[in-house]
Every structure is written in C-alpha cells, then in structure tokens.
Structure 1
Amino acid sequence: MQSAEATNSTRKPTNLSLDSALLKEAKILGINISRSAEAGIAEAVKRHRQENWLKENASALASSNAYVEANGLPLARHRRF
C-alpha cells in the first residue's frame, strides 16, 4: 500500500475542530497542521483496515494455527536453520 505522500492524489479543503491549545502549540513549533492531520488519519485508516482484515480472516488464521500445532510446519524437514 502506498502512503498518501507517495501518490499524486488531489487534496480537498476540509474543516476540522481541533483543541485550540494544541493547535496553538503546533503552530508555535512550526508543525504543518494539514500534513500532520493527514498522517494521523492515514494511520487510523491503516489500523482499521488491519483490524478488519484480522476479523475477516480469523477463522482461516485459527485453522492454519491449529494445523501447525497438530502437524508442525509444512516442509519443516527441508529447513536448514
């Protein structure tokens, strides 16, 4: 998956409500508010996608883990480490 900065996506002006003290401090520190908000939202989207994938694939993961517990790793005899 590509990051938001790696793609040439268009930006859309958006209104956000932010803690005023936090916003003031970020401006004093020279933090780019838009890019920081975008990075935070991108991280939240990534985390939710991961959680959803794990939920959707929980039974397959459990089945695979149960197989390995019962039978060991497939092709384990070919491992050289």
Structure 2
Amino acid sequence: MQNAEASKATRKPTNLSLDSALLKEAECLGINVSRSAEAGIAEAVKLHKQEKWLKENARSLASSNAYADANGLPLARYRQF
C-alpha cells in the first residue's frame, strides 16, 4: 500500500551524482535508476524514523521492560502458549 501511495505522489525532477560505471551497468541491466534511487531513499527514511522513534522512546521502553522483569507480564495467565 505504501508503494502505491509513493507512485501516486507528485514527482520532482532531481539531479543526483552517481558513480558512472554503476549507472552504466544499471542501464545495461534495464534497471530503472530513478525508481531504484527512490526505493533506496524511502528505505533510508524508514530506518531513520525507526531509529529516531526508538531513541525518543527509550526511557518508556526501558521502564516497561523493567516492570515486566520485576512483575511478569500483566496478562501472562491468559496466554495459551
């Protein structure tokens, strides 16, 4: 679903500096360089957002984990596995 949204987004022409040998090889292989670059940037943005979220929420996660370590999981008695 996210890929469908990305393909409908407004596209902006952008200049990139790429290794010429790599670019030539990609073209020989029929790789859509623009789409591949976009996919790589999207992945980098996703990873950056994940890291940022983990950093911003580290205290809350540590607190929750400490509680579970000290008291067990709150609904553990209902687990069927």
TM-score, normalised via structure 1 length: 0.93
Distance 1:72 1:6 in 2: 42
* 2:29 aligned with 1:29: yes
Structure with higher RCO (Cα < 8 A, 6+ apart): 1
Identify the residue that residue 4 of structure 2 maps to in structure 1: 6
Distance 2:19 2:9 in 1: 28
Measured after TM superposition, the shift of residue 16 of structure 1 is 0.1
Identify the residue that residue 48 of structure 2 maps to in structure 1: 48
Unaligned 5+ segments in structure 1 are none
The CA RMSD measured in Å over matched residues stands at: 0.9
Measured after TM superposition, the shift of residue 68 of structure 1 is 0.4
Distance 2:54 2:31 in 1: 34
Distance 2:62 2:80 in 1: 27
- 4+ long deviations beyond 4 Å: none
Distance 1:39 1:75 in 2: 40
The count of aligned residue pairs is: 79
